[in-house]
């Protein structure tokens, strides 16, 4: 059940198969689009439709639901947006019943996507679940439900295979698509030149997350940390790459929680902050240090090799719930993959501007500490493997479509 290279009957030719895909966030949208592109490269013809955003749409997927306004964090945000989620889910369920796809591919976004998988099961439609929820960290009981609804799991990390094998769930380790994606191709100097920045002087890249809730909670703290760091290191500058699913208006709103608009921050000559759209990997490469929200950005930064400090803030209610459920000591994926804490984490009340600024200053001024962290990040990069995840997912899709055709 855990073979890294699934064997298929070869590319399916003739009439295209219908594949429904459901990705609820920017990263899932990108990974799903890459898998479908790899499927096309294999010569398999499909008509794809479902939920996603720009990457899937550009790749030719018909968007029944645009996910760009659905990215929320924790049970409080989910409840606040329950009506919106229910309407989108109902629309996708109607589409599934009407079109009867040959395969449903769900990508991450488990609470929503498993409800969609329930409908697929009642219709006899096979389900591939790409990117497992973090059942090894919290809510392990979800494995049984996943096994009852999903035909096959495609997981990112080797240690996830045993979790599903113990429960009798068919599973394949495909690797992490970030291994192929997180490549800049620039030297740090070239990356700075790409953004029109001078080559010398300390530079910190801020990665507050791709969801609006993350922006609202993290960006004000990051900006305050940046001001404090600037006071200690006057020539320090800052770079803020904007996720493709966000726009400038989102950033203008985010710092309102502290009463400071982004416009006023940008007008403050004491904090030189360059905002760019996309180019996150180049922004990681350009930086001496990254201040990142916990999430896949920490793995991207590790693959790039830039030292980092991690923070994460959710609502007090969400934190109270999650802290009772999480079973691992570290939450940053870079630390989880490393098996130990190699980058500092600051969560909730610990994520103060003063503490974050002190950590950033230490990494900027203590070359030995920065080099030690780079060596540890290189170990994480080696553990992530050689890439090719999208191609392996495409092979799984091919195999599952071939089985559907045979039945």
Q: Lowest-pLDDT range, 188-197, 240-249, 283-292?
A: 240-249
Fold agreement between 17-177+387-406 and 181-383: yes
Q: What are the structural domain ranges in the chain?
A: 17-177+387-406, 181-383
Per-residue pLDDT averaged across 204-217, rounded? 85
Q: Lowest-pLDDT range, 19-33, 209-223, 267-281, 387-401?
A: 267-281
**Percentage of the chain lying above the pLDDT 90 cut:** 62
Cα end-to-end distance, the chain, whole Å: 21
CA distance 221 to 402: 51
Looking at residue 7, what is its pLDDT? 46
Per-residue DSSP letters for 30-83? Answer: HHHHHHHHHHHHTT--EEEEEEE-HHHHHTT-EEEEEGGG----HHHHHHHTHH
Contact 289, 363 (CB under 8 A): yes
Looking at residue 210, what is its pLDDT? 77
CATH of 17-177+387-406, one of 2.60.40.10, 1.10.10.10, 3.40.50.20, 3.40.50.2000: 3.40.50.2000
Higher pLDDT, residue 314 or 34: 34
Looking at residue 140, what is its pLDDT? 65
How far, rounded to the nearest angstrom, does the alpha carbon of residue 18 sit from its chain's CA centroid?
A: 26
Looking at residue 171, what is its pLDDT? 97
Per-residue DSSP letters for 248-299? Answer: HHHHHHGGGGGT--HHHHHH-TTS-EEEEES-HHHHHHH-SEEEEESSHHHH
Looking at residue 216, what is its pLDDT? 80
Q: For the chain, what is the mean pLDDT?
A: 86
What does pTM read for this prediction? 0.78
Q: Kindly report the CATH number that applies to the domain delimited by 181-383.
A: 3.40.50.2000
Looking at residue 292, what is its pLDDT? 97
Higher pLDDT, residue 244 or 271: 271
Looking at residue 11, what is its pLDDT? 47
């Amino acid at each position: 059940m855990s073979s890294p290279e699934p064997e298929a009957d070869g590319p399916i030719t003739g009439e295209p198969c219908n594949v429904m895909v459901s990705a609820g966030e920017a990263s899932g949208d990108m990974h799903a689009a890459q898998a479908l592109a790899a499927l096309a490269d294999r010569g398999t013809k499909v008509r794809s439709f479902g939920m996603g955003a720009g990457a899937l749409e550009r790749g030719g997927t018909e968007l029944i639901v645009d996910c760009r306004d659905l990215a929320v964090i924790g049970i409080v945000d989910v409840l606040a947006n329950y009506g919106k989620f229910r309407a989108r889910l109902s629309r996708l369920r109607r589409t599934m019943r009407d079109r009867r796809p040959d395969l449903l591919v769900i990508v991450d976004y488990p609470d929503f996507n498993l409800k969609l998988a329930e409908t697929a099961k009642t219709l006899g439609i096979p389900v591939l679940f790409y990117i497992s929820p973090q059942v090894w960290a919290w809510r392990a009981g979800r494995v049984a439900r996943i096994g009852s609804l999903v035909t096959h799991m495609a997981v990112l990390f080797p240690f996830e295979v045993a979790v599903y094998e113990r429960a009798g769930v068919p599973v394949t380790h495909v690797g992490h698509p970030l291994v192929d994606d997180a490549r800049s191709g620039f030297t740090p100097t070239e990356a700075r030149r790409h953004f029109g920045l001078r080559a010398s002087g300390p530079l910190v890249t801020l990665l507050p997350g791709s969801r609006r809730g993350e922006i609202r909670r993290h960006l004000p703290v990051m900006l305050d940390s940046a001001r404090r760091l600037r006071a200690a290191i006057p020539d320090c500058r800052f770079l803020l790459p904007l996720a493709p699913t966000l726009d400038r208006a989102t950033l203008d709103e985010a710092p309102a929680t502290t009463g400071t608009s982004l416009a006023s921050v940008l007008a403050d000559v004491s904090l030189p902050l360059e905002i760019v759209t996309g180019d996150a990997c180049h922004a990681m490469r350009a930086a001496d240090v990254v201040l990142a929200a916990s999430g896949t950005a920490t793995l991207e930064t590790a693959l790039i090799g830039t030292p980092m400090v991690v923070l994460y803030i959710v609502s007090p209610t969400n934190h109270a719930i999650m802290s009772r459920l999480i079973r691992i000591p570290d939450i940053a994926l870079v630390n989880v993959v490393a098996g130990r804490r190699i980058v500092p984490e600051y969560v909730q009340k610990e994520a103060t501007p003063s503490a974050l600024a002190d950590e950033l200053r230490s990494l900027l001024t203590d070359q030995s500490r920065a080099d030690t962290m780079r060596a540890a990040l290189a170990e994480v990069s080696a553990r992530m493997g050689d890439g090719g995840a999208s191609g392996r997912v495409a092979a799984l899709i091919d195999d599952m479509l071939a089985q559907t055709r045979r039945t």
